[in-house]
Amino acid sequence: MISRKIILIIVSLILLAGIGFYFYGLPPIRYWTKTPTNFEECKGATRGFIIKTLPAQCEFRGQNFVDQSQQGQGASFVPEQDRIQVSSPNGGEKLEVGKTYDVRWTNYSGKEPLTIALQATTPSNQVSVKIVASSVPAASTGTYKWIVTSESAENRYRIEVYPAGGRELVGRSKDFFTISGEE
């Protein structure tokens, strides 16, 4: 027969776990059948885990999502003229899947390698970001050869360029471009 002490210990542990969930706001375990499409869904799918060096990013199964609401806010705000400037693609272009395009930027004075990302905006204005390349060598004026992969033709896109530890320096295409075709 189970002794009263063991039962008391088990009940105490259950109560402590419940209090921990209540006070620390730990979410219940969820089993995801759908891949997240934006930062908030990613936070839910990963139970709130975000990349420590980039607190406005969340990673789920190798795909990164950026918290668009945090960009350009707070003490880390950097004026537009001091950010990386993306010159190509800069908006209005019609890119084709499978073709190679130059991603060009200027105005980077740092030494950290750069990250190049594709920002997608759905017709319902949901925004997600997918890393295209990381550890791109730093250059004040640079070019990266990008092979366009299959993306939704319904979305509008921008390119982002930023240093690994400096999301506040992010440069984006001035306007949206489209991607069409299939691989």
Question: What are the tens digits of pLDDT across the range 140-170?
Answer: 899 999 999 888 889 999 999 998 777 778 8
Average pLDDT across the chain, whole number? 75
Q: How confident is the model at residue 25 (pLDDT cuts 50, 70, 90)?
A: low
Say which CATH topology domain 78-180 has. Immunoglobulin-like (2.60.40)
Q: Where exactly are the structural domains of the chain? A: 1-30, 78-180
Q: At a CB cut-off of 8 Å and minimum separation 6, what does 137 contact?
A: 113, 114
Distance, CA of 123 to chain centre:
19
pLDDT at 137 over 60: yes
Give CA–CA dist 21/34, Å, rounded: 25
- pLDDT category of residue 43 using cuts at 50, 70 and 90: low
